[in-house]
Chain A
Amino acid sequence: KNQVEQSPQSLIILEGKNCTLQCNYTVSPFSNLRWYKQDTGRGPVSLTIMTFSENTKSNGRYTATLDADTKQSSLHITASQLSDSASYICVVSDRGSTLGRLYFGRGTQLTVWP
C-alpha cells in the first residue's frame, strides 16, 4: 500500500532555532517528492520538488533532502521565524499512472515561539 508517514506529528521551537522534519514513504514506482507549507485555513503552498536523481534542494531557509534508496526525506528549516508556524506536508507522486497520483502525509504541525 502506498503510504507517506511524517514525524514528528507536532513540534514547538523557539524563534531563531533550526529544526528538521522527517518523511518516510512506501510509494512505488516513485516519481517525485514535494514539501508543502500549509497555513491554517489556507491551501498548501509548494516549497520544493525533487525527482529520483536529486538528493537535495533549497528554497531560502528551507532545505529538503531525499534518499531514494531508503525512501526517506527531510526538510530542514534554518533560523526559524514566527511566520514559519504552519503544517508542513510531505507529498509523494507515483509514476506509471497517467494521473501521477499524489500521496499526502498528515503533516508536521510546527509552532515557532518568540
Chain B
Amino acid sequence: EADIYQTPRYLVIGTGKKITLECSQTMGHDKMYWYQQDPGMELHLIHYSYGVNSTEKGDLSSESTVSRIRTEHFPLTLESARPSHTSQYLCASSLRTDNTEAFFGQGTRLTVV
C-alpha cells in the first residue's frame, strides 16, 4: 500500500471560503502532482513539483496555488472557493526517474455550496 495521504477525504464548504487540501508522502519522492477528476472523466493535471521550492502549473487552468517547502508535503490552496471548484482532487508522487510507478492518494472530494 502506498504511503501517500490526503486530508480531508470529504469537504463541504461555503462559497468564498479559503481551503487547503493536504497531501503528504513518506516515500521520499521528488515528484508530486495534483490532479482534478470529475465523475466519469479523465484526470487533469493542475499542479506539479520536481522537488522542494519547485512548483509548476499543469495542463488544466486552476485558480488554486501550491507550495513545496518540504519534500514530503504538497498542499493545495483555494483562496476563495466557488461552486465550479466542486470536484475530486487527487495527489500523486513518484521518483524523479522515468518508468517508475506513480502512487496516488485516496483523494479529496470537495463540494462548494
Binding site for B on A (CB under 8 A): 4, 31-32, 34, 36, 41-46, 49, 51, 89, 91, 93, 95, 98-102, 104-107, 109
Contacts and interface: CB of A to CB of B under 8 A. Distances in A.
Nearest to A109: B40
Contacts of B101: 34, 46, 49
Given A43-B90, A43-B105, A98-B50, A104 B42 contact: yes
Interface residues of B, number: 27
Contacts, number: 59
16 contacts: A31-B99, A41-B107, A41-B109, A43-B90, A43-B104, A43-B106, A46-B101, A46-B102, A49-B99, A99-B31, A99-B50, A99-B56, A100-B31, A106-B41, A107-B40, A109-B40
Interface of B: 2, 6, 31, 33, 40-45, 48, 50, 56, 88, 90, 92, 94, 98-99, 101-107, 109
Nearest to A87: B40
A42 B107 contact: yes
Contact of A106 (B42, B88, B99): B42
Given A102-B45, A104-B42, A105-B42, A51 B105 contact: no
B90 to A, nearest CB: 5
B48 A99 contact: yes
Contacts of A101: 45
Contact of A104 (B43, B50, B99): B43
Nearest to A101: B45
Contacts of A41: 88, 107, 109
B87 to A, nearest CB: 13
